[in-house]
């Protein structure tokens, strides 16, 4: 990568050779990585992604910016409040659904 470049992954964590990425980021502090996805997701607690100063890990928002980020936050808050109050959730994800979801 050219000097001061930024690597962005908003696709799938499994498409990146993460061990190699960590090695490059350690040896090239001029580079930055913005990771919306990792493998696994989220990274394990011991993952170097959490401690490397030139890496930013976001929750999986697929690079969203603007009004959709606000709406995503509103949905999360509404779902949490419903869960906290023992009300039905609008966007339940079951274990069976996880087998077919992207």
- 56, containing H or E segment: strand 55-57
Can you tell me the distance from the alpha carbon of 91 to that of 47, in angstroms, rounded to the nearest whole number?
A: 30
For the sheet containing 32-35, what is the strand order?
Answer: 6-9, 32-35, 55-57
- 80, containing H or E segment: helix 67-84
From 26, 28, 44, 60, the catalytic residue: 60
Instruction: Indicate if 12 belongs to the active site.
Output: yes
Instruction: Indicate if 56 belongs to the active site.
Output: no
86-90 CB contacts, 8 Å cutoff, 24+ apart: none
* Cα Rg of the chain (Å, integer): 17
From 12, 70, 71, 87, the catalytic residue: 12
Catalytic positions are: 12, 60
């Amino acid at each position: 990568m050219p000097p001061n470049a930024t690597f962005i992954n908003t696709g799938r964590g499994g498409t990146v050779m993460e061990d190699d990425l960590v090695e490059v980021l350690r040896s090239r502090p001029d580079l930055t990585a913005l990771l919306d996805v990792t493998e696994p997701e989220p990274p394990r607690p011991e993952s170097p992604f959490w401690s490397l100063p030139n890496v930013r890990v976001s929750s999986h928002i697929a690079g969203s910016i603007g009004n959709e980020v606000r709406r995503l936050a509103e949905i999360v808050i509404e779902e949490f409040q419903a869960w906290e109050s023992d009300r039905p959730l609008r966007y339940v994800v079951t274990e069976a659904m996880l087998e077919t979801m992207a």
